[in-house]
Amino acid sequence: LLTYVQASVLLIQVAERLQKSIRISDAVSRFGGDAFVIVLKPNKNAQEALEAVDKITKLILANLTELYHLVDVDYKRTASIG
């Protein structure tokens, strides 16, 4: 179980990792609790959109599953997208 400070640090690190996973034209926002919303800039066509979503999804999952360094403990989490 995480302390309040550790949980706050975790949420900040998650937000930073999400931000580095998306393009400059996209946006990420905390929806509440541990839920985040990502809005992607429209693409020119469906194929381009699918490729962008695939690339960003892989980056997000890779970044979010790396070890977190919280105040006095290292922490490992899984992530889901849906």
What is the pLDDT, as a whole number, of residue 82? 84
> Is residue 4 over pLDDT 90?
yes
Name the residue among 1, 5, 57 with its Cα closest to residue 26: 57
- The pLDDT of residue 1 is 87
Longest dimension (CA), the chain: 47
Per-residue DSSP letter, 45? S
Structure tokens at 16: 């930073």
Is pLDDT of 69 > 90? yes
Q: What is the DSSP letter of 3?
A: -
**pTM for this entry:** 0.91
User: pLDDT tens for residues 12-59?
Assistant: 999 999 999 999 999 999 999 999 999 999 989 999 999 999 999 999
